[in-house]
Amino acid sequence: MKILVTGSNGLLGQKLTTLLQTDSSIQLIATAKGKSALPINRGQFVELDITNRDQVQKVIADTQPDVIINTAAMTQVDQCELDHDPCWKANVLAVGYLIDVCAQYNIHLVHVSTDFIFDGTQELLDEAAVPRPVNFYGESKLAAERLIIESTISWAILRTVLVFGVTQDMSRTNIVLWVKKSLEGGKTIQVVNDQWRTPTLAEDLASGCYLAAKKKSRGIYNVSGKDYLSVYDIAIRTADFFRLDKSLIKETDSTKFTQPAKRPMKTGFIIDKARNTFGYEPHSFEEGLEILTSQLR
Confidence of residue 257 (pLDDT cuts 50, 70, 90): confident
pLDDT for 61 equals 98
* Residue 171 pLDDT exceeds 90: no
Sheet-wide strand order for 266-269: 121-125, 266-269, 196-197, 229-230
% of the chain with per-residue pLDDT over 70: 99
How confident is the model over 198-244, as pLDDT tens digits?
999 999 999 999 999 999 999 999 999 999 999 999 999 999 999 99
Q: Which of 172, 133, 134, 141 is nearest to 158 (CA)?
A: 141
Whats the size of the chain, residue-wise?
297
Gap between the Cα atoms of 119 and 124, Å rounded: 12
pLDDT for 245 equals 98
First-to-last alpha carbon distance for the chain, in angstroms, is 34
* Residue 172 pLDDT exceeds 80: no
Domain presence at residue 28: yes
pLDDT for 43 equals 97
Domain presence at residue 182: no
pLDDT for 170 equals 61
CB under 8 Å, gap of 24 or more: what pairs does 73-78 form? 73/7, 73/112, 73/141, 74/137, 74/140, 75/114, 75/137, 76/137, 77/116, 77/135, 77/137, 77/261, 77/263, 78/259, 78/260, 78/261
How many structural domains compose the chain? 1
Domain presence at residue 97: yes
CA distances, 94 to each of 8, 19, 49, 60, 100 (Å): 15, 25, 9, 14, 10
Domain presence at residue 257: no
pLDDT for 191 equals 96
* Residue 285 pLDDT exceeds 70: yes
Domain presence at residue 280: yes
How confident is the model over 124-139, as pLDDT tens digits?
999 999 999 999 999 9
Domain presence at residue 236: no
Domain presence at residue 118: yes
In terms of residue numbers, what domain contains 70?
2-165+200-226+267-285
What's the rounded mean pLDDT across residues 243-267? Answer: 95
Q: What CATH number is given to the structural domain containing 85?
A: 3.40.50.720
What's the rounded mean pLDDT across residues 30-40? Answer: 95
Domain presence at residue 175: no
